């Protein structure tokens, strides 16, 4: 399947917006239109990228950004929410857990961390943060929070098209949701799917994420739009679940012999997953597993996690 930047027509008024190479910050989004109504699934990492996408949608999909009724945020991360403010007339829908997470990690914090990294104030962690997020303009983002939240399931209508929202988090983040359009059996998965890139388990438990993959597989979708990477099929869904099972088993073997999460992340040989982009995310994934198994609800500071990823990234390069 081709993986070109821009719009892909999925038929029945549904579109995907893809951003190769799908690495840090290069997320996908979706558009659902019917009878002159439109709903956007996620915005992008900054307002320039989101503006570029909205222009393309206005030109090719017959929508007007000021008339988009609803923006659905699949989860709280900035690469799916930072463009919300450009949809001035839209209701912004997210899970309750995602709304809380957005409040705790606003765009201004991303801008501060990047500036600190650029000023060489945070060592290797800062250098890495500034490097991976160099293409994005966080300082220019106007925070726009959800205006409607839900827990569990919700649905909305776009003209005659029914859209179902299924909360499957905490997994990648605290409040991940799947966006399903039953009429055309299309699913926008948000970051429950990273295709040809390494999944990053910020929240966990990993078992919830594997269950979400199993749920997608059971739905047997016709079109699957992942949060990052090219459009995929059930093979891609199984690949993500297999990676997560691999991490769980490799990590657990090291947890039970008393290894620490930092050492374990360095020790695990990634095998065929070493070629997936952003492989250093193993450091976060192992840490999340350790917090679960040691009953440590407090998150590890982001600077610490980015420091561990930096070490793997610069050591292996």
- For tokens 């739905």, the residue is 219
- Decide if residue 280 touches Zn ion (CB under 5 A): no
63-71, long-range: CB < 8 A, 24+ apart: 63/31, 63/33, 63/38, 67/38, 68/38, 68/39, 68/40, 69/37, 69/38, 69/39, 69/158, 70/39, 70/40, 70/156, 70/158, 71/39, 71/40, 71/41, 71/42, 71/43
On whether the CB atoms of residues 58 and 68 are closer than 8 A, the answer is no
| Residue from 79, 196, 248, 287 in contact with Zn ion (CB under 5 A) | 79
On whether the CB atoms of residues 186 and 151 are closer than 8 A, the answer is no
Q: By C-beta, is 79 or 196 nearer to Zn ion?
A: 79
The Cβ-side half-sphere exposure at 176, using a 13 Å CA radius, reads 28
Stretch in the footprint of Zn ion (CB under 5 A) among 76-84, 155-163, 173-181, 306-314: 76-84
We find the least distance from the C-beta atom of residue 80 to Zn ion, in angstroms, to be 6
Distance between CA atoms of 107 and 1, rounded to whole angstroms?
34
Distance between CA atoms of 11 and 32, rounded to whole angstroms?
10
Q: By C-beta, is 221 or 227 nearer to Zn ion?
A: 227
We find the least distance from the C-beta atom of residue 227 to Zn ion, in angstroms, to be 5
Count the site residues for Zn ion by CB under 5 A: 5
- For tokens 């990993």, the residue is 206
* Positions in 219-238 near Zn ion (CB under 5 A): 227
Q: By C-beta, is 33 or 73 nearer to Zn ion?
A: 73
| Residue from 27, 33, 161, 189 in contact with Zn ion (CB under 5 A) | 27
Q: By C-beta, is 34 or 232 nearer to Zn ion?
A: 232
- Decide if residue 191 touches Zn ion (CB under 5 A): yes
Q: By C-beta, is 27 or 285 nearer to Zn ion?
A: 27
We find the least distance from the C-beta atom of residue 269 to Zn ion, in angstroms, to be 26
Distance between CA atoms of 93 and 82, rounded to whole angstroms?
14
Q: What is residue 249's three-state secondary structure?
A: helix
Q: By C-beta, is 47 or 191 nearer to Zn ion?
A: 191
Stretch in the footprint of Zn ion (CB under 5 A) among 25-33, 48-56, 107-115, 131-139: 25-33
Q: Which residues bind Zn ion (CB under 5 A)?
A: 27, 77, 79, 191, 227
């Amino acid at each position: 399947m081709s993986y070109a930047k821009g719009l892909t027509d999925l038929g029945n008024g549904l579109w995907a917006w893809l951003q190769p190479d799908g690495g840090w910050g290069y997320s996908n989004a979706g558009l659902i239109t019917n009878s002159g109504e439109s709903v956007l699934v996620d915005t992008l990492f900054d307002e320039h990228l989101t503006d570029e996408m909205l222009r393309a949608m206005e030109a090719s999909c017959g929508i007007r950004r000021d008339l988009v009724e609803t923006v659905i945020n699949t989860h709280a991360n900035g690469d799916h929410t930072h463009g919300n403010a450009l949809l001035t007339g839209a209701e912004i829908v997210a899970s309750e857990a995602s709304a809380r997470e957005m409040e705790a990690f606003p765009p201004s914090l991303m801008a501060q961390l990047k500036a600190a990294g650029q000023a060489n104030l945070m060592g290797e962690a800062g250098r890495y943060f500034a490097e991976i997020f160099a293409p994005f303009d966080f300082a220019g983002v106007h925070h726009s929070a959800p205006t409607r939240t839900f827990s569990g399931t919700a649905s909305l209508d776009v003209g005659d098209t029914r859209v179902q929202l299924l909360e499957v988090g905490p997994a990648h983040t605290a409040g991940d949701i799947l966006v399903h359009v039953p009429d055309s059996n299309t699913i926008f998965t948000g970051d429950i799917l990273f295709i040809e890139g390494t999944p990053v388990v910020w929240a966990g438990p990993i078992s919830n994420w594997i269950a979400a993959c199993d749920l997608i597989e059971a739905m047997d979708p016709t079109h699957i739009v992942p949060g990052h990477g090219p459009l995929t099929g059930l093979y891609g869904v199984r690949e993500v679940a297999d990676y997560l099972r691999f991490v769980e088993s490799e990590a657990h073997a090291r947890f039970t012999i008393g290894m620490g999460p930092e050492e374990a992340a360095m020790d695990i040989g990634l095998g065929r997953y070493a070629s997936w982009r952003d492989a250093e995310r193993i450091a976060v994934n192992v840490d999340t597993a350790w917090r679960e198994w040691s009953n440590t609800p407090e998150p590890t500071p982001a600077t610490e996690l980015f420091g561990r990823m930096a070490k793997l990234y610069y050591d292996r390069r």
